[in-house]
Amino acid sequence: MASAPPIDRHGRSLGVLRLSLTARCNLACPYCQPDGQEPSGLLSLEQRLQVIEAAVALGASSLRLTGGEPLLHQQLDALISAVKPLRNHGLREIALTSNGLLLTAERAHRLREAGLDRLTLSLDGTTPASMALMAGLPDQPAAERALHQVLAAIEHARAAGFTPTTGHLKLNAVIQRGRNDDQVLPLAALARQRKLELRLIEYMDVGNRNGWRQADVVTAAEMVHTISQRWPLEPLGRPHQGTASRWRYRDGTGTLAVVASVSQPFCGDCNRLRVTADGIAYTCLFAAAGSGVDLKPWLQSSDDPSALNQGMAALWRGRADRYSEERELAPDRGTTHAEMAYLGG
C-alpha cells in the first residue's frame, strides 16, 4: 500500500517541484546575478526524471522548470515529453519560467507540442533604458534587441497556444526602488493591452551578490496603490498555496497579481521544493548556501530504487523553514543565502 504523502513540521504538504535545469543565463540581471558556469555534477535527463517521479509520488502536482535560463538547456523538450506519463500519476501541470530571449515561434510550438502547459515570461521594463538597467545589458542597441525579442516571444507563445486569458501565459516583473519603479504603470499598460496577467514581484533578499536592502523594496501595497489610482482594482485574494495576490481591473480589462514575499510573507502554506541543476534539494527559496541535501547518492544507487523517495520524504518531513516570516524578527542573521539563479527562482 502506498504510504501517505509526507507533511512537514509546520503541517505543509508538498505541491510544487521547481526544478532548475541550468545555473547559467544569457542575461545578467543585477538583482539576480547568475553564475557564468554550471556547477559540477549536473543531473542527466534520466536522473531529473527520477527526481520528478519521486516528487510526484510524494504529492507534487505541479512541475515548474526554471534556472538560470531554462531555454539554454538542450534537453528541455525531451524532458517535458518524458514527463508526460506522470500525468496519470498525479502530475497536473508543467510550467516554465523564462526571460524569453530564445523563444522563437518554432521553439514555442515545440514546447507546446512536447506538453508544456504554462509559460511565464519575465520583463522588468518597457523601454530600452530600463531593460538595460534591469537585465544587465551593456548598451542601448543590446537592450533594444532584447526588448524586441521578449515582446516577440509573448506573441510567439500566444500563437503556439499558451492562452493568457486562461492563465497559461503570464508576465513577471521584479520592481526595484530607484531602478525601475517608474515602470510599474507602463508595464501594467503593456500587459493590459496584450491581455496578459502581470505579476509584480517584490525585490527579494535571495543570494548575496545583489546587495539587497529593505529600502530598495517597493511593496506590493505601493504597486497596487499606484496602479489602482490609474485603473481601479478590486481584490481577488491569494489562492491557497499560491505565491501571488490577485486583483481584477474594475473596467474588465483582465487581472493583475503581486508577489509580496517580503512585505506579506506566505510561508504558512508554502508547498514548494527546489532542486538545483546539480541535484541539490532546498526546501526554501531563502535557504542558506550549502544547506541543501544532495540527492545524487540516491540517484546513483541502483541497489535500492525506493531510497530516493524515502530520502526526499524524510527531507520534507524535517522541513521547518519560514525564513520570510522570520526576517521581521531577526533581520540580520548573517545568513549566506544560496543564489537565485542556482536555486531556481
Nearer to ligand SF4, 99 or 183 (CB): 99
Q: Provide the Cα torsion 209, 201, 193, 248; round to 10°.
A: 180
Distances (CA, A) of 199 to 56, 185, 258, 308: 27, 13, 5, 35
Site string for ligand SAM, 117-136 (x = CB under 6 A): -----x--------------
Residue from 20, 22, 50, 99 binding ligand SF4 (CB under 6 A): 99
CA 169 to chain centre: 13
Helix (H) / strand (E) containing 20: strand 16-20
Which one of 41-49, 55-63, 66-74, 259-267 is the stretch in contact with ligand SF4 (CB under 6 A)?
66-74
Among 34, 125, 128, 164, binds ligand SF4 (CB under 6 A): 34
Chain positions 302 to 331 lying near ligand SAM, rule: CB under 6 A, are none
Output the nine-digit C-alpha cell for 110: 515545440
210 binds ligand SAM (CB under 6 A): yes
Q: According to CB under 6 A, which residues from 324 to 343 bind ligand SF4? A: 341
Q: Residues 17, 27, 143, 343: which binds ligand SF4 (CB under 6 A)?
A: 27
Which residue lies nearer to ligand SF4 by CB, 272 or 322? Answer: 272
Residue of 21, 63, 160, 174 interacting with ligand SAM (CB under 6 A)? 174
Answer for the pair 119, 168: CB distance below 8 angstroms, yes or no. Answer: yes
CB under 6 A: which stretch of 75-83, 93-101, 139-147, 313-321 binds ligand SAM?
93-101
C-alpha distances (whole Å) from 39 to each of 22, 24, 105, 148, 188 are 9, 9, 31, 31, 37
HSE, CB side, 13 Å, CA atoms: give it for residue 227. Answer: 32
CA distance 13 to 68: 26
The cell 500500500 sits on which residue?
A: 1
Binding site for ligand SF4 (CB under 6 A): 25, 27-29, 32, 34, 67-69, 99, 122, 341
Binding site for ligand SAM (CB under 6 A): 25, 31-32, 66-67, 69, 97-99, 122, 172, 174, 201, 203-204, 206, 210, 340-341, 345
